[in-house]
Amino acid sequence: MVAPQAVLFDISGTLLCGAEPIPGAPAAVHALKQGKAVRYFTNNPGLTPHQAIERLAAAGFPVSAGDVVSAAAETAACVAEQFVGKRVLILGGDGLRRVFEAHPLEVVDDLPADVVVVGGAGRVDSARLTLACRAVWAGAALIATGLDRRVPGAAGELFPGTGAIIRAIEWATHVQADVRGKPSQWAAQAALRLLGTSGPASVVVGDSADEDVALGKQMGARTVLVLTGVTTERDLARLPEVNRPDAVFPSVGQLLVDWLAAQT
């Protein structure tokens, strides 16, 4: 087995609870940074890489320009390349909209639309959901920043994620979404580019079995699940053996550092 050379961390629910660092996480990441490349991947559809860097730095994590990839930015870049100049209907917050407006795309609020992009569930009401379905019924492509079932809030509470909205649209339209965030093949490729390593030399650490562990397996990396976010011990017990992480820890802390040091 190849010794780990790089560690990819999820952010929300793994390192941060809202804007606050999870206790012990900054010290652990600093310790890992001494011997390994450390990078970050956020599925938060409202966060640009620059915003993620600011949040991490403010919370005491070691981070610099180029250390973060975001599902929102990766999705926008892919859509801009495939649908340059086309009309894009966004189901998501202002942050996601701004990411798309930075590309040669026409972001619209009404039909017709060539593409429907879903990122987040917080601002999606029945009118927006109906509009998205009508666009897809008329032939628009359906793209998602991720398939998160639920996401952690600032106080640790859980909320429906992008996947909840995507599944509703898929059910109504019989069209399967093209997912560009974790755990898609696109996300795996972006993560490996960011890390600059092979899959077997990489470790993915996150709070979601469905997104982070699945991403690591897509990459061929070792996977670590922490229980500070969306996946609980009860969820873990239901996972089939093939989807189980290589290690589970209560949080990102000294136990994770010791485990990584023992990996060869």
Considering the domain architecture, whether residues 15 and 62 belong to the same structural domain is answered as yes
Q: How far apart are CA 40 and CA 134, in angstroms?
A: 36
What percent of the chain lies above the pLDDT cut of 90?
80
The answer, yes or no, to whether residue 215 has pLDDT greater than 80, is yes
Domain end, chosen from 128, 154, 179, is at 179
Average pLDDT value over all residues in the chain: 93
50-54, 120-124, 147-151: range with lowest mean pLDDT:
120-124
pLDDT at 30: 97
Three-state secondary structure of 41-78? EECCCCCCHHHHHHHHHHCCCCCCCCCEEEHHHHHHHH
Q: What is the pTM of this model?
A: 0.93
Considering the domain architecture, whether residues 160 and 98 belong to the same structural domain is answered as yes
Its domain, for residue 197, covers: 6-71+182-262
Considering the domain architecture, whether residues 94 and 52 belong to the same structural domain is answered as no
* Number of compact structural domains in the chain: 2
How would residue 25 be classed by pLDDT, with cut points 50, 70 and 90? Answer: very high
pLDDT at 242: 82
CATH number at residue 99: 3.40.50.1000
Considering the domain architecture, whether residues 156 and 92 belong to the same structural domain is answered as yes
pLDDT at 240: 86
pLDDT tens-digit series, residues 40-98:
999 999 888 899 999 999 999 999 999 999 999 999 999 999 999 999 999 998 889 99
The answer, yes or no, to whether residue 156 has pLDDT greater than 80, is no
The answer, yes or no, to whether residue 158 has pLDDT greater than 90, is no
User: Among 213, 241, 214, 240, which residue's Cα sits nearest to residue 227?
Assistant: 213
pLDDT at 211: 94
pLDDT at 237: 87
Mean pLDDT of 168-181: 96
In-domain check, residue 26 = yes
pLDDT at 127: 94
Considering the domain architecture, whether residues 196 and 214 belong to the same structural domain is answered as yes
In-domain check, residue 18 = yes
pLDDT at 22: 96
In-domain check, residue 1 = no
Q: How far apart are CA 212 and CA 40, in angstroms?
A: 11
Considering the domain architecture, whether residues 79 and 161 belong to the same structural domain is answered as yes
